[in-house]
Amino acid sequence: MPSRRSFLAMTAAAPLALPARGATRPVRLVAAERPATLPGRSGTSPLWTYGGDWPLALSVRRGEAFEAVLENRLADHTSIHWHGVRVPFAMDGVPHVTQKPVEPGQDFTYRFSPPDPGTFFFHPHCDTMQALSRGLAGVLIVEDPREEGLFDADHLLVLKDWRVRPDGGFEPFSTDAGAARAGTFGGLRTVNGAAAPALKAPPGARIRLRVVNIDPTRVPVLELAGAEGRVIATDGNACAPFPVQGWALGPAMRAEIAFIQPARPGAEVVLRDVWGQEAFPLARIITEGAARGADRRPLRLPEAELPEPQLKGAPVIEMSLLTGHADPKLEAWMKETGMSLDALCLSERIFWSINRRAWPGMSHEHLPPPLAELKSGRSYVIEMLNGTPHRHPMHLHGHTFKVLGSNQRRLPPHWADTVLVEPKERLRIAFVAGEPGDWMFHCHIIEHQETGMMGYFRVS
Ligand code: C2O
Ligand code: CU
């Protein structure tokens, strides 16, 4: 389990941890409003959390049975999507599509055995802009026995901004101006709930940073100053190490970074975001304590073990990411069935679309056509074409895909569940279609998702 410092003063009880191996006691995730004080604020903010520390981190071993009971103590329905984990369809946490919404006062038990090691996260899948903005998310670390002893220190860094006033009250989470462009940004930037936290590490220590971007909007461009940092895993999946410098971490993306802590006491390694005019420090790691022995093993993870797509003969399906407009077919369908936008987790505003459709996930009884129909076990190439002036971190549920390449830039070969598509870019991914079901495919700038940039692939 990576170490983690929690900075928010929570009113909740003891931190959550998983039961000892072999035990069957499930984790309880009690979704509720819990006021907490954010850095530099004079009063508390009405956060929504799952209880315990913030950020909340759970860990489980690869392949081991995991059980979590979600208890809903919020005023509206909720569910949990296990982002990036190749879960069975019924555990994917999309209301109306994979399960009934969990109503206030009700609970739902999630059970699965995570097949892949790595750093994942979880969050609701309706009213997500509000929920994520208030902090309702957690990290799931899937441990791999093959990684034991590879690192001297393992730190979790959870990136999230807050739209919060000096008195602690929240500002409106979404604005039309933001939703129709790059998103509505939070002014208070935090890592693990703190402003640029400082960690300590012994000279020569082998460090692993698990950087998780749970922000619904911001795309930091990472840089590690003071040490030679390499990305060793993308979205939790091991990759051939490549330099951190310039790696853009879109909403929902994770990057694991490995480096050797410099020997000089007091030396500082700084993880920063170099997107803006001035580099913004995210976290510092300061050399302190007794030197570590010279472990010369390469700083990399055992290779990812994922279904390898067969590219030869694989159908190529195009997904055009476009701006949106109201869909007359959707409107007619809603009139006919009496479905409301609310029940569909959809906002009235439509700014975005995929293949000219601005469609959310709908109820199973009245399902609109999928974006694509796939056969379980077959390989597919999806070519995404960004016809908008903004970047979109595109996420596919329940699958880990291979990023094949772009017509615009050199990308290191890597596995992902969320990939940034730049304006005018054509980017190809490939994967083996998994378990039958309707798997959501959407932008993870949540305001884009909620204003049209969402659909699903039907696997049968
Ligand atoms: Cu983390 Cu459907 O998303
Ligand atoms: Cu987007």
Closest ligand to 181 CA?
A: 2
Ligand 1 neighbour 395 (Cβ under 6 A): yes
Closest ligand to 391 CA?
A: 2
Number of CB atoms found within 10 A of residue 296's CB: 5
Ligand 1 neighbour 155 (Cβ under 6 A): no
Closest ligand to 394 CA?
A: 2
Ligand 1 neighbour 160 (Cβ under 6 A): no
- Distance from Cα 99 to the centre of ligand 1, integer Å: 15
Number of CB atoms found within 10 A of residue 212's CB: 29
Domains by residue range for the chain, with CATH: 4-145 (2.60.40.420), 153-287 (2.60.40.420), 316-459 (2.60.40.420)
Closest ligand to 445 CA?
A: 2
Q: Which residue matches tokens 């049209």?
A: 452
Is 35 within 8 Å of 26 (Cβ atoms)? no
- Among residues 440, 442, 443, 436, the alpha carbon closest in space to that of 459 is found at 436
- Distance from Cα 453 to the centre of ligand 2, integer Å: 7
Distance in angstroms (rounded) separating the CA atoms of residues 27 and 91 = 15
**pLDDT score, position 452:** 87
- CB-count burial class (<10 Å; 0-12, 13-18, 19+) for 109: exposed
- Distance from Cα 267 to the centre of ligand 1, integer Å: 38
**pLDDT score, position 339:** 59
| Residue 139 phi, psi dihedral angles, 5° rounding | -110, 140
Number of CB atoms found within 10 A of residue 276's CB: 9
pLDDT < 70 stretches in the chain: 1-25, 326-335, 337-348, 359-367
**pLDDT score, position 5:** 43
Q: Which protein residue's CA is at the shortest distance from atom 1 of ligand 1?
A: 83
The amino acid occupying position 196 is A
| DSSP bridge partners of 31 | 72
Ligand 1 neighbour 402 (Cβ under 6 A): no
Q: Closest ligand 1 atom to the C-alpha of 84?
A: 1
Q: Which protein residue's CA is at the shortest distance from atom 3 of ligand 1?
A: 83
| DSSP bridge partners of 373 | 458
Is 352 within 8 Å of 407 (Cβ atoms)? no
Report the SS3 class of residue 22: coil
Distance in angstroms (rounded) separating the CA atoms of residues 341 and 262 = 55
Report the SS3 class of residue 271: strand
Ligand 1 neighbour 125 (Cβ under 6 A): yes
| Residue 259 phi, psi dihedral angles, 5° rounding | -160, 170
Ligand 1 neighbour 83 (Cβ under 6 A): yes
Ligand 1 neighbour 81 (Cβ under 6 A): yes
Ligand 1 neighbour 4 (Cβ under 6 A): no
- Distance from Cα 228 to the centre of ligand 1, integer Å: 32
- Distance from Cα 215 to the centre of ligand 1, integer Å: 12
Ligand 1 neighbour 448 (Cβ under 6 A): no
- Distance from Cα 383 to the centre of ligand 2, integer Å: 16
DSSP per residue over 224-263, as a string?
A: EESS--EEEEETTEEEEEEE-TTEE--TT-EEEEEEEPPS
Distance in angstroms (rounded) separating the CA atoms of residues 218 and 331 = 32
- Distance from Cα 180 to the centre of ligand 2, integer Å: 9
**pLDDT, tens digit, 9 for 90 and up, residues 104-116:** 999 999 999 999 9
Closest ligand to 389 CA?
A: 2
